[in-house]
């Protein structure tokens, strides 16, 4: 029972490099999310996808793009990484965006940009 799977677990990038963080869920959830976690800031929503085929900006979307590839997969792309994007990134999913639907989180990707 995998739940939400994120790859890679760790990544180091140089400033200006690009990369894509992958996320897949096997719970047939409609909605998927990308958060970043920084010390003292809690989790901040980057982008989300309420359903397959839709994506919307969250609190901190600048410097990121997303793709909802299909119902299972939601990727996050950094086109030109910056040191300010050093963070732990979490993917999450839920049945839908209603408040009754708890979020299920992956184990995170720790990204360092030098």
Our finding on whether 64 is near other proteins (CB under 8 A) is: no
Question: CB-wise, 41 or 69, nearer to other proteins?
Answer: 41
- CA pair distance 31, 23, nearest whole angstrom: 12
Q: How many residues are there in the chain?
A: 114
Question: CB-wise, 64 or 106, nearer to other proteins?
Answer: 106
Site string for other proteins, 6-45 (x = CB under 8 A): ---------------------------x-x----xxxxxx
Residue range at the interface with other proteins (CB under 8 A); choices 21-29, 61-69, 72-80, 101-109: 101-109
**Residue 19: phi, psi to the nearest 5?**
-165, 160
Helix, strand, coil percent content, the chain, rounded in steps of 5 = 5, 50, 45
Our finding on whether 106 is near other proteins (CB under 8 A) is: yes
- CA pair distance 100, 109, nearest whole angstrom: 27
């Amino acid at each position: 029972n995998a739940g939400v799977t994120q790859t890679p677990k760790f990544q180091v990038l140089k400033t200006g490099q690009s990369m894509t963080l992958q996320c897949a869920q096997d719970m047939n959830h409609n909605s998927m999310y990308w958060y970043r976690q920084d010390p003292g800031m809690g989790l901040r929503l980057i982008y989300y996808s309420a359903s397959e085929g839709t994506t919307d900006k969250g609190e901190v979307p600048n410097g990121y793009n997303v793709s909802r590839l299909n119902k299972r997969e939601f990727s996050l792309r950094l086109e030109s990484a910056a040191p300010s994007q050093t963070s732990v990134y979490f993917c999450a999913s839920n049945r839908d965006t209603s408040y009754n639907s708890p979020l299920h989180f992956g184990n995170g990707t720790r990204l360092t940009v030098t």
